[in-house]
Amino acid sequence: MTVTIVGSQLGDEGKGGVVDLYGDAADVVARYQGGDNAGHTVVHGGEKYKLSLVPSGAVRGKVGVLGNGCVVNPRTLFDEIETLREKGLDPDVRVAERAHVILPFHRVLDGIEEDVKSEDDQEVGTTGRGIGPTYEDKAGRRGVRVGDLLDPDVLRARLEYVVPQKRTLVEDVYGADVSDLENPDAFDVDALFEEFREIGQRLDEQDMTVNASAFLTDAMADDETVMFEGAQGTVIDIDHGNYPYVTSSNPTAGGAAVGTGLSPNVIADGEIIGIVKAYLTRVGSGPLPTELGGVEGDTPGYDEQGDGENEELATYIREEGGEYGTVTGRPRRVGWLDMPMLRHSARVNGFTGLAINHIDVLAGLEEVKVGHSYELDGEELLAMPPTTEEWGDCEANLKSFEGWDDVDWSAVADEGYEAIPENARSYLEYVADELEADIYAVGVGPGREETVVVENPYE
Ligand code: IMP
């Protein structure tokens, strides 16, 4: 039995906490997409761990696997492992030989392309980690895979093919001079070869590379319990999100099969848990029909649809929820919960259960709203439309709920679901009914102890 954790919104739903909670019963926690653009915060033993690449299960001694669908920046990988070791942990992380490597020029290109797009206000607001350019090279069949790092001849040949192309791209398309860049070595075959050959040796010596498909299959054959940890969220999925304001991978449940090398039957035999934040936040550009507000100047795409009148409320929720990007520190745009988005997400992923987080953040508000449906060209829509332009034209039909008081949430977590204030329960049950999925957990604070567990998927 496997459990797949999927972000149902725009990322930052609090997946780390749920992985941490349910992952307790897992032996192996595998990521299937994305790279060090993710931000997982795990609180363990009073210590806060911020991870962007290593699966968060590593904090609790689980075997972490970065599947073939991931893009791996080895510098981040080793930095995070080192940080965990400094805190007295002994992380066991395996990396798929089929995963692609984020090379230094990918980050540079991510930055250049965002700068160029920003001249016409078209920037995606990426995390700048080189994610898109690395997946581009994967699809373009010119990428470098983790397995290539283990064979110096292959590595050299791959670099000799791809690096001159990138140089030409920077100089002839973007009109920049590579030698003027902050990191000209990012475009130097010899420098890259030396650094990444050594990384390959290190991965090999530490026995870190695996055939993820075989490794996970063997683990399950040995009765080990596996969890799939999705990063980002459904609405920034390259296929099912609001293109082009998306990441370049598939955070949706199907990605768990493709990105690990396991059959879709394995994923479907298990549970697929949708993580929902009780309101909405977004760190990059793009529409947001239920938007309350962003931070002018700091937030790409700020207040594109909101009227700005709710700025105070947005600020209140942002501060209460600590809504600043884990990777970039950027203030997040804030909106009400968006049901058409969640209905789309439930359909794409097939959630068997829901974990709804952060209901404590909304406590104390007199009224809590949700976008129940959209109005587009005089028609009511229950699910978000496929084009981002149409989505940008949608107006949310808001539904109002009576607010709930701030209570002792730790006590609520101890006592269980019935201890949740009644108005909050009405809110939760509305969401579960609309999505036709059961509530498995309710997050009432940042620590994993501050979770009301209704259902443990592994039991
Ligand atoms: P990229 O993944 O860095 O290419 O960024 C593409 C889009 O996905 C941007 O809007 C980012 O803000 C967003 N994004 C990437 N990773 C995360 C995440 O972990 N949480 C929320 N948004 C993310």
**Given the structure tokens 């496929």, which residue do they identify?**
386
pLDDT in tens, 45-86: 788 888 999 998 899 999 999 999 999 999 999 999 999 999
Kindly state if the Cβ of 37 falls inside 6 Å of ligand 1: yes
Q: Which atom of ligand 1 is nearest to the CA of 39?
A: 19
**Whether 12 is catalytic:** yes
Residue 179, number of CB atoms within 10 A of its CB: 8
Q: Which residues of the chain have pLDDT under 50?
A: 302
From 62, 100, 106, 138, the catalytic residue? 138
Q: Strand 333-335's sheet: what is its strand order?
A: 280-282, 333-335, 291-293
The pLDDT value given to residue 298: 54
**Whether 177 is catalytic:** no
**Alpha-carbon span 58 to 62, nearest angstrom:** 5
CA of 116 to the centre of ligand 1 (A): 18
Instruction: Rounding to the nearest 10 degrees, give the CA dihedral for residues 140, 141, 143, 147.
Output: 150
Q: Are 241 and 234 in contact (CB under 8 A)?
A: yes
The pLDDT value given to residue 218: 98
Closest residue (by CA) to atom 21 of ligand 1? 11
Q: Which atom of ligand 1 is nearest to the CA of 284?
A: 10
CA of 263 to the centre of ligand 1 (A): 27
Domains and CATH numbers, the chain: 2-96+209-274 (3.40.440.10), 101-203 (1.10.300.10), 275-453 (3.90.170.10)
Best residue for ligand 1 mutational test, from 13, 32, 127 (most atoms within 8 Å of Cβ): 127
Q: Is 330 helix (H, G, I), strand (E, B) or coil?
A: coil
The pLDDT value given to residue 310: 82
The pLDDT value given to residue 325: 80
**Alpha-carbon span 340 to 152, nearest angstrom:** 50
**Whether 372 is catalytic:** no
The pLDDT value given to residue 16: 86
Kindly state if the Cβ of 284 falls inside 6 Å of ligand 1: yes
**Alpha-carbon span 25 to 266, nearest angstrom:** 18
DSSP state of 441: E
Cis status, amide bond into 244, omega within 30 of 0: yes
Q: Cβ neighbours of residue 50 under 8 Å, at least 6 residues apart?
A: 39, 40, 41, 326
- Can you say whether residue 17 is alpha, beta or left, with left for phi > 0 and alpha for psi between -120 and 50 degrees? alpha
| Residue-level length of the chain | 459
CA distances from 113 to 106, 173, 174 (A): 10, 11, 8
Q: Which of 442, 251, 458 is nearest to 354 (CA)?
A: 442
**Given the structure tokens 């793009």, which residue do they identify?**
286
Q: Are 219 and 262 in contact (CB under 8 A)?
A: no
The pLDDT value given to residue 350: 98
The pLDDT value given to residue 331: 86
pLDDT in tens, 203-221: 999 999 999 999 999 999 9
Closest residue (by CA) to atom 8 of ligand 1? 247
